[in-house]
Amino acid sequence: MSSVSLGIPAVPPRGFGNISAVEPFPQAAHRELGNAQLRENLGHATHTIRDKRLRVVSELPDWQALRDAGSAIKTEAMSRLPELLTQFEEQFTARGGTVHWARDAAEANRIVEGLIRETGSDEVVKVKSMATQEIGLNEYLEERGIAAFETDLAELIVQLGHDKPSHILVPAIHKNRTEIRDIFLREMPDVDPALTDEPRRLAMAARAHLRRKFLSAKVAISGANFGIAEMGTLGVVESEGNGRMCLTLPETLITVMGIEKVLPRAQDLEVFMQLLPRSSTGERMNPYTSLWTGVTPGDGPQNVHVVLLDNGRTRALADRHGRSALHCIRCSACMNVCPVYERTGGHAYGSTYPGPIGAILSPLLTGVEAEENSSLPYASSLCGACFDACPVKINIPEILVHLRGEDVEAKHGRDAGPGGADRAGAKSSGRRRGLPTQMDVALGAASWALSSGDRLGLLEKGLPVARALAGRDGKISRLPGLGAGWTQSRDIPAPPSESFRSWWKKRQKDAPPADGDGSTRGPATGGATSDGATEGEAQ
């Protein structure tokens, strides 16, 4: 593989569409946290799916080996991407399909519109697809007089509710059964007014509502879970049969697929068809998976297209430390286990891709310099639950930290605080540098203090003063600036009167090390002393 070296490699263009936060995450989270119904719905749904996932995952003795294999196959696919894409194109074309390439969201939308126009149709049925959500295809088509009907139940709920998806697997996860019934009663013309909120009844209402659409649709639009380079096969994994309806009945089928979805071999499916269903819906296997290769004469759509989408994927690929985010198979396990997602829901992330994977993928697609996405990498306590749950072992916490580093590099002031370490070493000049933030100043100072035992020891001599500043109840309940974030819900204990370092020094003086057995250096305080006990206790 040859690479043109021009000194600084060009950064591929960013992606556009529904992959950006519209406001900083903390602000959006603040609003969503205030929605008690949302919190309850999300808590219920995420806990249900967590238990199911754990149950079916623990059934497989080789789960970790499957995760390793999934990760290795994706790594291989990314490293061979030019070759695999070309092979996919050849195979898909040889079997009667047409391949289109789209640099970004706008180009993909234009291609799809053109293909629909060629059929003479002004409406399409859609299978749930993250790629078309990402590029905003529905809105684009609607503006141009083409009606796009979502057929997945959750997408239908979102569409009828004039709402936005908040989860990649269950876009309406933020709605409970009663809210869904109310949407159906309001928006479905032929619905039975006696509709109850029993999930089965709601599913039946959706069936009745969409039946005629399926049977008469001329054009369908789908995404793809996999594209197999070896033979040009595409695959869609689903549950309800709406996918099969769209992939089978219309004459024209247009699939929009991100370039990272390509897999080398058909055999690779044996790994992903075990990883994906168990990780996403917590089932041993999803009810329906359709695999098609170009055109099958006499069976299914005869006019078959695929649009291969970049839209920032090459930008993500160019980031060596972030590119494994492209391994994502869109299972949603990471968001289902995420304590942050569980409390804020998906809308807080702004992008089509919420939760932990969204917090890395969105800024990787747009570049973390994109102001609107720069708060996303911080939307995590780095608890690591997402990494454990990820079926292809994307180290999300590590990439979050990497992107935080890129963000700090890109825009925070460098000349911060006393000793704000080594600004002279900043080679990546030329980027926008803002005024130092409180965080810059605080962490710059902390760097100075914490990079030497002597300096830390010196500062610790001030502990009695800090202790005196604490209230009579021995705690600090109000701090200014950044600290206010802490004290909004947490006290800080009164500091101890003496650091460990200082205590240790005295102890060494009082009882020099015994020679020989090296056992004790004079009794350490037995248990905790009354002094030591109250110190540092946040009570």
Partner 1 sequence: MKIALFATCIVDAMYPRVAQATVQILERLGHEVVFPAGQACCGQMHLNSGYFREALPVVENHVKTFEAGFDGGEYDVAVAPSGSCVASVKHQHAMVARWAVEKGERRADATLEARAAAVGDRTFELAQLLTDVLGVTDAAAQLGSYLPGTIAYHPSCHGMRLLRLGDRQLNLLRSVEGLDVVDLPEADQCCGFGGTFAVKNADVSSAMLADKVANICGTGAAACAGGDASCLMHIGGGLSREQRTTAGDAPVRTLHLAEVLASTREHPLTFDGGLALAGSPAGGAR
Partner 2 sequence: MSAREEILGRVREALGAEPAAVQPSALAEYRTESGLDEDALVELLVDRLEDYKARVEVVPRGNVAAAVRARLEGKEFAVPEGFPAEWLDPSLDERAVRDSREAPLAVVRLDGLDAVVTSSAVSIAETGTIVLDGSPDQGRRAISLVPDHHVCVVPVETIVGIVPEGFARLDTTRPLTLISGPSATSDIELERVEGVHGPRTLDVIIAR
User: In b/e form, how buried is each residue of 95-104, taking b as 16+ CB within 10 angstroms?
Assistant: bebbbbebeb
Distance CA 409, CA 420 (A): 14
CB 361 within 8 A of CB 20: no
Site stretch for partner 1 (CB under 8 A), options 123-131, 150-158, 358-366, 497-505: 497-505
Given candidates 21, 29, 73, 325, which one binds partner 1 under the rule CB under 8 A? Answer: 29
Which residues, 103 to 122, sit near partner 2 by CB under 8 A? 103, 107
302 contacts 295 by C-beta, under 8 angstroms:
yes
Told to check if 101 binds partner 2 by CB under 8 A, we report yes
Which of partner 2, partner 1, none does 195 bind, CB closer than 5 to 8 A by kind?
Answer: none
387, 390, 396, 413: which one contacts partner 1 (CB under 8 A)? 387
The angle subtended at Cα 525 by Cα 519 and Cα 531, nearest 5°, is 160
Q: Is 463 in the site for partner 1 (CB under 8 A)?
A: yes
Query: Where would I find the beta strands (DSSP E) of 58-138?
Result: 98-102, 123-126
Q: Which does 421 bind (CB under 5 to 8 A by kind): partner 2, partner 1, none?
A: partner 1
The Cα 109–Cα 112 span in angstroms is: 5
Q: Does 90 bind partner 2 (CB under 8 A)?
A: no
Question: Closer CB to partner 1, residue 86 or residue 508?
Answer: 508
Is 349:376 a contact under the CB 8 Å cutoff?
Answer: yes
**Residue 304 binds partner 2, judged by CB under 8 A:** no
- List the beta bridge partners of residue 237: 289
**Min separation Cβ 19 and partner 1, Å:** 21
Closest Cα to residue 174, out of 348, 386, 337, 25?
348
Residues 274-293 binding partner 2 (CB under 8 A) are 274, 277, 281, 283-293
- Cα three-residue angle 54-46-33, rounded to 5 degrees: 150
401 binds, among partner 1, partner 2, none (CB under 5 to 8 A by kind): partner 1
Nearest-Å Rg of the Cα atoms of the chain is: 28
- 153, 160, 360, 443: residue in contact with partner 2 (rule CB under 8 A): 153
234-263 positions binding partner 2, by CB under 8 A: 239-242, 244-245, 247-249, 259
Tell me if 75 contacts partner 2 by CB under 8 A.
Answer: yes
Reading the block at residue 69, the tokens are 């294999």
> Judged by CB, which is closer to partner 2: 327, or 414?
327
Select from 134-142, 171-179, 379-387, 482-490 the region that touches partner 2 (CB under 8 A): 171-179
211 binds partner 1 (CB under 8 A): no
Whether the CB-CB separation of 237 and 294 falls below 8 Å is answered with no
CA distance 223 to 460: 59
By CB under 8 A, how many residues form the interface with partner 1?
99
Question: Interior CA angle at 392 toward 387 and 397, to 5°?
Answer: 25
The CA–CA distances, whole Å, from 392 to 147, 330, 498 equal 36, 10, 48
Task: Scan residues 180-219 and list those touching partner 2 (CB under 8 A).
Answer: 180, 199-200, 202-204, 206-207, 210-211, 214-215
CB of 197 to partner 1, least distance (A): 27
382 part of the interface to partner 1, by CB under 8 A: yes
CA distance 20 to 24: 10
Tell me, residue by residue from 42 to 61, as one string, x for binding to partner 2 by CB under 8 A and - for no binding: --xxx-xx--x--------x
Hey, what's the torsion of the CAs at 45, 48, 50, 56, to 10 degrees?
A: -140
CA–CA distance, 146 with 156 (Å, rounded to integer): 17
The verdict on 406 binding partner 2 (CB under 8 A) reads no
The alpha carbon of residue 100 and the mean position of all alpha carbons in its chain are separated, in whole angstroms, by 27
Stretch that binds partner 1, among 110-118, 171-179, 180-188, 398-406 (CB under 8 A): 398-406
Q: Does 518 bind partner 1 (CB under 8 A)?
A: yes
Q: Does 41 bind partner 2 (CB under 8 A)?
A: yes
Residue closer to partner 2, measured from CB, 242 or 362: 242
Helix (H, G, I), strand (E, B) or coil at 151: coil
- Whose CA is closest to 278, among 52, 48, 68, 62? 52
Q: Can you read off the two tokens belonging to residue 442?
A: 């605080």
Q: Does 403 bind partner 2 (CB under 8 A)?
A: no
Return the one option of partner 1, partner 2, none that residue 203 interacts with (CB less than 5 to 8 A, by type): partner 2
CA distance 363 to 367: 5
Does 345 bind partner 1 (CB under 8 A)? Our answer is no
Which of partner 1, partner 2, none sits in contact with 433, Cβ below 5 to 8 A by type?
none
Q: Which of the choices partner 2, partner 1, none does residue 513 contact, using the CB cut-off of 5 to 8 A by kind?
A: partner 1
Which residue type sits at 171?
P
Among partner 2, partner 1, none, what does residue 172 contact (CB within 5–8 Å per kind)?
partner 2
